[in-house]
Structure 1
Amino acid sequence: MEIKKNITELKDKLADSLQLWVDERIDGLVLDNPQLKVASVYMKRGAKNFLAKQKDGIGDMIDNAALFLCDENGNVDADLLFNDMLSMFREMEEMPFGKGFIRGTIGKGNIRFALPDNPITSILFGKTGAIKITDADLIELKKLLIE
């Protein structure tokens, strides 16, 4: 099914959709680990602040990618794009990423954010070790963006 979206429309919708999606992922994490209920407030706040701080950079990244993804009118087949990206995400070899506090791995259909092993993260997150995002989670983000 072809779902044409203008890249400007997608960019405008991205910030709100990402925030909602992150909040839903955190709520799901709390369901699986009730001891994280208090920490979830700070996780949501941190995610909101991080997204606000990175908004311009994300917009620039989308603008640069748009050269390859959009037609001459700035439209993109959002459904096809997401399906292609998910396919590549599932097939790519796991590789590490990180900068500062945020470190982890991406590939084979998962993004894992490693939590540092220290007393503060142990108090907030218990023995969680890592926060994992799967391809199913990304499909939820796709729904938020293109519906």
Structure 2
Amino acid sequence: MEVRDKLMGLKDKAIDSLGLWIEGRIDDFVSQNPGMKVASVYMKRGAKNYLARERGRIEKAIDNAALFICDEEGNIDSDMLFNDMLTMFKEMEETPFGKGIIQGTIGKGVVRFKLPDNPIFNLLFGNTGAIKITEADLIELKELFST
């Protein structure tokens, strides 16, 4: 199999796994906030549409990362990669990020997406304040990616 074919397979697997993982996070969020059941349909649709819209950018990011994570034949050791990423994720200092309405922090083993405090977001998400992604969530992504 050519390097190009392996890389295309990696991109497809990554984006498909990410989509399944996001749906799982939404389901977990709804299980803790039952009032969000109706909104979860729209959250899943939005996530799916976002991944479709941003597919080209995600693929380009994977192409750029492949220079560092793939060997010369296009193979990747996903266990080692995820373990290294989790270690860095846990050890990095909390760092703010944001663009537009997406604001949050990453580091110390947690990604927090701050939810705006306005009537629309409060209607959709309740008074949750933030959505958190933890190391356990990323381990689930690793398992989806590895299957």
Alignment of 1:1-147 (within 5 A): 6-147=6-147
Give the SS at the match of 2:76.
strand
d(CA) in 1 for partners of 2:113, 2:49: 17
Q: For 1:42, give the aligned amino acid.
A: Y
Q: For 2:39, give the aligned amino acid.
A: A
> TM-score normalized by structure 1?
0.92
Shift of 1:8: 3.2
d(CA) in 2 for partners of 1:58, 1:127: 31
Q: For 1:21, give the aligned amino acid.
A: W
Specify every segment of 5 or more residues in structure 2 that has no aligned partner in the other structure, as ranges: 1-5
CA 1:90 to 1:7, structure 2 compared with 1: closer, same or farther past 3 Å?
farther
Shift of 1:83: 0.3
Give the SS at the match of 1:76.
coil
Q: For 1:35, give the aligned amino acid.
A: G
Moved over 3 A (4+): none
Shift of 1:28: 0.4
Equivalenced residue count is 142
RMSD: 1.0
User: Bigger shift: 37-46 or 80-89?
Assistant: 37-46
Map Cα deviations across residues 48-106 of structure 1 (whole Å, 9 max, x no partner): 11111111111111111111111110111110011000100011011111111211111
Q: Which has the higher strand share?
A: 1
Give the SS at the match of 1:93.
coil
Specify every segment of 5 or more residues in structure 1 that has no aligned partner in the other structure, as ranges: 1-5
d(CA) in 2 for partners of 1:85, 1:122: 33
